[in-house]
Each structure stands twice: as structure tokens, then as C-alpha cells.
Structure 1
Amino acid sequence: MPVLKHFKRVFTDWFLCGMVLATFLAYLFPAFGSTGGAMHAEWVINIGVFLVFFLHGVNLSSEQIRHGLKNLRLHLMVQGFTFVVFPLIWLGADLLMGSHVPPLLMLGFFYLCALPSTISSSVALTGSAGGNVPAAILNASLSSVLGIFLTPLLVSVVVGSGTGGIDLGATLLDLCALLLLPLVLGQLVRPLFGRFFARHKRYTSIVDKLVILLLVYAAFCNSMVSGMWQQQGSSVILSAFVGSAVLLAVILWMTTRTARALHFSTPDEIAAVFCASKKSLAAGAPMAALIFGANPGLGLILLPIMIYHPLQLIVCSVMAENYASRRRQAADPLIPNAPAAPMP
């Protein structure tokens, strides 16, 4: 079955298996990766995050971004869904069900809703589905940069700033130093080293994923040391899974219907749906460490995005094949329709 093929692809992905392993190791060896532990996670992770965003800057093509600057309506839709519609959906859910969900998990869902879109998977899926790749590159990249400022700003609205909340000014300075500065430096050295890093882009992706795994391990180590997971029942994981699945289904339905109501071409619709529905674990993990610091509840705050990440890959991979199949059928009516999952 086509859907089972996508599940198999996800479960054999070393990175997703690594996330499971990282949480298991945090259960076995929590002291090693906790703040002040022998791993010195706070220093190792900061260096890794700086390196990752420097590599993103080197690999970010300004030519492709300029080429994607044409469709303003598409860009407004993607950024509007990413930073406005997602938080509004959370607000409605919080009013209806907030009293029945653990506060830290509810905060985790808001953090998921406030995150920027992904770059790599949005562009890859848009390309495989036959969508507008330059527009996807522009929107995913723009979302990542905007997220450095908008994500902590949105979080501060919910948790407050100053005493009892987050120090917004210090957080923005830290994010600029660890995320924006390396992106700019990467762009500056791109004319000299861009081709070299392009030839070794596979290793850039590996470094990116290893740093995320370190962040996940450190976050769960702090949660284990604090005793937070011992205080939560297994129902919290089920709640996170159900909430993430419902959120993904709602946002895919809304983005698809909005793109069609705006009369986007099929390539623009594909780019809009895939970019506007994604949330970035690659940006979310390091930003969470800076926004929430050594909060012992960080593992629970990260849980929704850790579940949403593989879910979006599975569902959007099926949708990409559905789009590609329809495109092939339109190009050659003699090609039989391949079995495809229904559109949301």
C-alpha cells in the first residue's frame, strides 16, 4: 500500500530513530546531559547551533530567492498562516480545551504554532510534487528569518516577559547572535566557499540533525532530573499525538481551500500548502533552548513539535505523490491514474 511505504520511509530514517534513542538515553543517563552535567550541553549545543546556521547561510542561494519574489499573494498567505493563523487556531483550542490539558503541554502546542516553516522538506516536497520551487525557497527562507524575531515575540505574549516570563530583549539578542549572525556570515562567505559546501551538502544535513538530537537529549535530561516526567502520566503523550494530528489535518484543509479560493495555479498551490503547513524542528529545538533556558519542562514543551515533525513528513509525502500523479495524468491522459490518497 502507498501509505505503508511512507510509514516505512519514516521509521527507517536514522534521524527519527535517533530522536527515540535520544529520549531513551535521557531516561538512562539524565545527569550526563543535564545543565551543568559532564557533557556541558549548554556550550556544546551553542557551538553546534552556530555552526548549523552558518552552513544554512552558505547554502542559501540569493539568486533563487530573488527569482521567487514574484507572487506577493502567495508570500502573504504562507507567512500569514505561519505566524497568524496557527496561533489563532491555538487560541481557539485553548479556550475550548485548555483547562483539560497540562499547562506545559499547552505551552508546547503554542510554541509549535509560533515556529517558522521548514526549509529542506518544504522545498523537497514542493519539487517532487511539481510545485513552484523558487517560491518555496523564498517563503521557507523568509519564514526562518522572521521566526528569529516573531517566535519569541509571540511566546512572550502568552507567557509574559520579565519576571515569571521570558526576557524578550535578552532572548532576541541571543537569537540574533546564535542564529541570525551565522546566517549573515554564511552569506558573506558564500561567493568563496559556496561551491565547496554545495558539493558536501549531505554532511551539512548530518551536522544539522546531530545538533538537533543533542538538543532533544539535553532537554529530556533536564526534564528527567527535575522529576517532571515522573509526575506526568502516559496520557500526556497520547494527548500530544492526537493534538498534533488534528492540528495538521485542520491546517492542511485550510491551506488547500485558501489556495484554491485565491485561484492559485497548481504549482503555486503546492508551494503554498507545503510551506504554510510545515513547522521547523530544526529551528524549534535550538530556539527553545534559548527562549526557555534550562526550564525543566522543556522536554514537554518540545513534545508537540517532535510528534508534528514526522507526521507532516508522512502526510505531505503522500500528498506530494498525489499532486505528481495528477500532473502526469494531465500531461498524458493515456497514463492510468495511480492510486493516491484523497486530498484534505
Structure 2
Amino acid sequence: MKRVDPFLLSLICAIAMASFLPCTGQMRHLLEGLTTTLITLMFFFQGAKLERHAIIDSVKDWRLQGSVLLSTFALFPLLGLGLHALFRTLIPGALIGEELWSGILFLCCLPSTVQSSIALTSIARGNVPASICAATVSNIAGIVLTPLLTGMVLGHVGAGHSPLESVLDVGKELLLPFALGQALQTWIGPIVRKHKVLISFTDRGSIVLVVYTAFSSAVVEGIWHRVPALHLLDVALLDSAILGLVLAMTYAMGRLIGQPTESDISLQFCGSKKSLASGIPMASVIFPATSVGIIVLPLMIYHQIQLFTCTLLARHYAKRSHL
């Protein structure tokens, strides 16, 4: 069995700390400023690290890359909307409330992961270069597509934000530093690639801080009175259902377009993942602070389910016979 990863444990600790010692007043404003700075640095370093040829190479296998984007930004949102409509029709008022449903629908609009998609593809003996390209393009596209899709799927975004305003906000806070990192890649890139702790500190540190500050606001607003423990189990079941359906559909999609098994593996793993690293910063930009805590709960649960399930699947693929 795959154990809970240390990063997820740090997020759980942040939630526990926010539940008992929420930050308020001036401390909250200071932490929000620090979080914004770390998120900006995270995307700057990601832009500096990513070599331009990786972006160019990503468009070569257009069937695989197109299938991953289709799964990530079309199949997922449609499944989320379909399940939402199904449960509202069959059992209105049952299961989770609309706030958690918003979190599930936001999850469906997010880009794929990078690190875990590549790592699992490698374990499964899949097409690793294709996974690197697909995950990279998904994250770049998500900076624009995620806020647009979130606005379309939810019908509103944040506090009075239109989808276009959300794209501009995300672009200003995430895409601009990424583009600046790309522009300075010749000078900054080698330093960032050599000192990987820079990226590790900024990405994980910023996410833990976002979770702590978001849940502090949510605790003050009474999150644990609004989200019963049983609803978290319902969210886990819905997350599992979405993941299972996408894994089955991406497998069928790969067979339909006649890809090699290695590319099928890349499609399954890149097309079924959702990025915690991108999702939490985006939620903090798109949604009001009092809503972020509940919005990211389904994503945090999905993150662990996808790691556990896809690790088992990767090990299964790894046992296949060499041709």
C-alpha cells in the first residue's frame, strides 16, 4: 500500500493548526502577503526551469497531446456537471452541499499534475517524454482555461468576478511571473535547475501557507459546522467515481486512436490527474478568502486518491511482458 505522502501530511497539519490556532487580523494580512510573494516566485522559477524546446516538442504528437487536453479540460468538466445534475435530480438535498459541489466542479477544471504524472509513467514503462510534454502544456494552458472553465461551469467566479476578470487576475499573478522566468531563462535557468530547493521551498511552502490562511478564514466563518464529517466521505466517493470513469474513458480513447501501449499509459496518467500545486494558488486568486477552505477540500482528497490508485495501476502496467 502507498503511504500518505509527507506533503499531504503537512497540509493536514496546516488544517489542524488553522482549526485550533487560526490567524486573524494583522497576522493574516502578513501571511497573505508572504503567500502571494511565494506563489509569484514559484511560477517565476517554474518558467526559468522549463526549457523552451520542451514546449516546442510538446506539439509533435498531436493525437496524444490533444487527447490529454480533451480529457483534462472537456471530459472532466462534463463529468462533473453530469454527476451534479444526476444527484440533484435523483436525490435533491442529499449528499454534499453546494459549496463542496463547487469544489468538485473547480477540481474538474484544473490542469494535470507534472511530477506525479511523469513519475508514474516512468514506473509503468510508458512514454515518459510524451508525459513531460503533455503535463507541461496542460499546466500552461490551465492558467487561461481553468478560470474560464470555472466561470462557465459554476456560473459565477469568486465575489463578483467575471471569467475574463479571473483570467486577467490569474494571468497577472501566475502567468506574468512564469513569462518573466522564461525571458530570463538563459541566466536564471541553470541556477534554478542546480538548486532545486528553490522550487521545492516556494511551491510547497506557498501551498501550505495558502491552506493555513484559507482554513483560518474558513474556521472563523464556521467551516466545521458547515461541513459534517460524513460529507467528506461523500466527497471521497464522488472523487473516486470521477477518477475511475476518467481512467476507463482515457483507456478507451487510447485504444480508439490506435496508440502504442506506452502512449496509452501517458494518456491515462496525464489525462486523469489534477494538480494540487496549481489548484490551490488558483483557488486563492479566483475565489474569496472565506470560500477557499471549502473549495480546495475535494481537491486535497482527490490528490491522495489519485496517487494511491494510479500507483497500483502503474505497478500493474510495469509487470507486463517486454516485447
TM-score by length of 1: 0.87
Q: For the structure 1 residues 215 and 164, does the alpha-carbon distance in structure 2 shift closer, same or farther, using more than 3 Å as the test?
A: closer
2:130 aligned partner: 135
Q: C-alpha deviations, 1:140-163, integer Å up to 9, x for none?
A: 111112111111111212333489
2:296 alignment partner, SS class:
helix
CA distance in 1, matches of 2:52, 2:218: 40
Q: Which runs of 5+ in 2 are unaligned?
A: none
| Among candidates 304, 307, 311, match of residue 313 of structure 1 | 307
Which residue of 293, 316, 323 corresponds with 1:322?
A: 316
Partner in structure 2 of residue 24 of structure 1: 16
| Per-residue deviation, 1:234 | 1.3
Shift of 1:249: 1.2
Which secondary structure state, in structure 2, belongs to the residue aligned with residue 264 of structure 1?
Answer: coil
Deviation, structure 1 residue 46: 0.9
1:193 aligns with 2:188: yes
State the Cα deviation string for residues 4-48 of structure 1 (Å, max 9, x = none).
Answer: 2x2x2xx2x321110110110011111x1x575446232111111
Q: What is the Cα deviation at residue 70 of structure 1?
A: 1.9
CA distance 1:158–1:193, shift in 2 (3 Å): closer
Q: 1:122 aligns with which of 113, 117, 122?
A: 117
Instruction: Work out the CA distance in 1 between the residues paired with 2:154 and 2:233.
Output: 24
Q: Is the 8 A contact 1:50 1:182 kept in 2?
A: yes
1:121-200 to structure 2, matched below 5 A, reads: 121-161=116-156, 165-200=160-195
Pair 1:65-2:60 in alignment:
no
Contact 2:157 2:286 in 1 (8 A): no
CA contact (8 A) 1:69 1:135 kept: no
Aligned to 1:79: 69
How far the C-alpha of 1:203 sits from its partner, in A, is 4.1
Partners of 1:312 and 1:271 lie apart in 2 by 15
Question: Residue 238 of structure 1 aligns with which residue?
Answer: 233
Partner of 1:210: 205
Is the counterpart of residue 269 in structure 1 residue 264 in structure 2?
A: yes
Judged with a 3 Å threshold, the aligned counterparts in structure 2 of structure 1 residues 38 and 148 are, in CA distance, closer, same or farther, namely closer
Aligned residues: 318
Answer whether contact 1:159 1:166 (CA < 8 A) is retained: no
Distance 1:19 1:184, change over 3 A: same
The code of the aligned residue for 2:59 comes to L
Deviation at 1:69, TM superposition (A): 2.5
Structure 1 position 103, deviation (Å):
0.3
How far does the alpha carbon of each residue in 1:250-272 deviate from its partner, in whole angstroms, 9 at most, with x for none? 11111112111221111211111
Bigger mean CA offset, 37-46 vs 262-271: 37-46
Extract unaligned runs of 5+ from structure 1. Answer: 332-344
Instruction: Please report the RMSD computed on the Cα atoms of aligned residues, expressed in angstroms.
Output: 1.9
CA distance in 1: counterparts of 2:315 and 2:158, whole angstroms: 49
Quick one: distance in 1 between partners of 2:287 and 2:309?
Answer: 30
Shift of 1:213: 0.8
1:167/1:69 CA distance change after superposition, 3 Å: closer
Alignment-mate amino acid for residue 258 of structure 2: H
Q: Is the 8 A contact 1:35 1:42 kept in 2?
A: no
Within 1, Cα distance between the matches of 2:191 and 2:159?
46
1:56 maps to which residue? 46
Alpha-carbon separation, structure 2, partners of 1:251 and 1:165:
32
Identity rate, percent: 37
Partner SS, residue 112 of structure 2: coil
Q: Is the 8 A contact 2:250 2:271 kept in 1?
A: yes
Q: Following the alignment from structure 2 to structure 1, what is the Cα–Cα distance between the partners of residues 128 and 151?
A: 33
Report the Cα distance in structure 2 between the residues aligned to 1:78 and 1:192, rounded to whole angstroms. Answer: 32
Classify 1:38/1:303 alpha carbon distance in 2 versus 1 (closer, same or farther; 3 Å). Answer: closer
Match of 1:96 in 2: 86
TM-aligned CA distance change 1:70 to 1:35, over 3 Å: farther
Contact 1:64 1:134 in 2 (8 A): no
- Tell me whether 226-235 or 271-280 shows the greater mean CA deviation: 226-235
Indicate if the aligned counterparts of 1:35 and 1:222 stay in contact, CA closer than 8 A.
no
8 A Cα contact 1:67 1:134, kept in partner: no
SS of 1:330's partner is: coil
**C-alpha separation in 2, matches of 1:290 and 1:39:** 15
Residue equivalent to 2:31? 41
